[in-house]
Copies of this chain bind each other. A is one copy, B any other.
């Protein structure tokens, strides 16, 4: 049973390999009659794209989305929205050297063992290139959520050991003004410097992204297995390179006492603190949803590494071509997209709770 879908009512199913003809997807369950701004969707794709700065990439590829159905005269028609993003360099022969080699901490070995066959070109289906489809659906979801009053602030709070200690809601413009999508200029500069240094060495580094979602109505999330943070957490963990996720107080909660962790109400049902991260009992409580997502360093390093090939022989490999020393800044729109997809789905699911 395939795992290429996310969501239940608002649902995205994707296809596509890194170096196949195209990637694409089908978005089901978008409410009918919503005006859709396709340029905004393309803008989000551009945010995800490599090549936005010297820092984060070395190739400029053009990810152009084409919508094939489900939008009529500028509005969602209630029918499935099919879309594709062509791969421009899909005939590239650059990957022949990987045909028989399993790169460390990549999915080469596991795909080969699971399927008995593997599209080795650029990681095939396991490539993070697959996330373009998530960004398309997420950008659409955000347009719907905006009508309900839900807004997102997603940014980098950690690169390596450089940490921004904040969970505030920052403006989109402020976040985008930073090369590393860290809204604090001082931290942003330190992170830039760190990435440059790592890149110089041919190495890579991990980081953490924080999501702050405001305007979420009370009541989203379905007990007991589809708690809102369980669904959001799964969405985050499904993104390439993610190793952990936490909500509100997160892992820090383990150290806390109940008397300090409890979020006391004010008379309007809001809470004075937000250790819950906007979710209680798996249901949104109207406070901002706060979560953090940890990314491992990219596995492809421009350094020699021991590895093995199909025959089990030792080989030495070294990354070549473009080099992303840190993908965390580029992952910001992906994290935001997955959050938006999940929230819109939760919102629609909640519509049937009462007649």
Query: What does the 1/0 interface line of A300-319 toward B look like (CB < 8 Å)?
Result: 11010111100011100000
Q: Is the CB of A117 within 8 A of B256?
A: no
- Measured in the bound complex, the distance between the Cα atoms of B124 and A80 in whole Å is 12
Q: Is the CB of B233 within 8 A of A245?
A: yes
- Measured in the bound complex, the distance between the Cα atoms of B33 and A322 in whole Å is 31
Which residues of the partner chain B approach A80 to less than 8 Å between Cβ atoms?
Answer: 2, 4, 13-16
Whether A3 sits at the interface, judged by CB under 8 Å, is: yes
Contact of A9 among B1, B159, B275 (CB under 8 A): B1
- Measured in the bound complex, the distance between the Cα atoms of B129 and A193 in whole Å is 51
Whether A153 sits at the interface, judged by CB under 8 Å, is: no
Which residues of the partner chain B approach A219 to less than 8 Å between Cβ atoms?
Answer: 110, 113-114
Contact of A218 among B2, B106, B110, B208 (CB under 8 A): B110
What's the least CB distance linking A66 to chain B, in Å? 7
- Measured in the bound complex, the distance between the Cα atoms of B71 and A22 in whole Å is 12
Q: Would you list which residues of chain A between 110 and 151 have a CB under 8 Å from chain B?
A: 110-111, 113-119, 124-126, 130, 144, 147-148
- Measured in the bound complex, the distance between the Cα atoms of B79 and A258 in whole Å is 28
Q: Is the CB of B223 within 8 A of A3?
A: yes
- Measured in the bound complex, the distance between the Cα atoms of B271 and A248 in whole Å is 34
What's the least CB distance linking A183 to chain B, in Å? 18
Which residues of the partner chain B approach A190 to less than 8 Å between Cβ atoms?
Answer: none
The residue in chain B whose Cβ has the minimal distance to the Cβ of A90 is B68
Copies in the complex: 4
| A354 in contact with B33 given A204-B257, A303-B259 (CB within 8 Å) | yes
The residue in chain B whose Cβ has the minimal distance to the Cβ of A218 is B113
Contact of A352 among B9, B26, B261, B312 (CB under 8 A): B9
| A4 in contact with B224 given A80-B14, A353-B31 (CB within 8 Å) | yes
- Measured in the bound complex, the distance between the Cα atoms of B171 and A45 in whole Å is 49
Query: What does the 1/0 interface line of A277-296 toward B look like (CB < 8 Å)?
Result: 10011111100000010111
Which residues of the partner chain B approach A75 to less than 8 Å between Cβ atoms?
Answer: 117
- Measured in the bound complex, the distance between the Cα atoms of B110 and A258 in whole Å is 19
A-B contact pairs, 25 of them (CB 8 A): A1-B349, A1-B352, A3-B223, A13-B26, A15-B70, A22-B68, A23-B69, A25-B26, A32-B354, A72-B117, A72-B119, A76-B117, A84-B84, A113-B219, A130-B224, A144-B355, A147-B355, A204-B257, A206-B254, A206-B256, A208-B251, A226-B238, A240-B281, A246-B294, A264-B307
A2-B29, A258-B297 are known; give 11 further A-B pairs, CB within 8 A. A1-B29, A2-B226, A4-B225, A15-B68, A15-B69, A16-B68, A31-B354, A32-B354, A77-B117, A245-B246, A254-B295
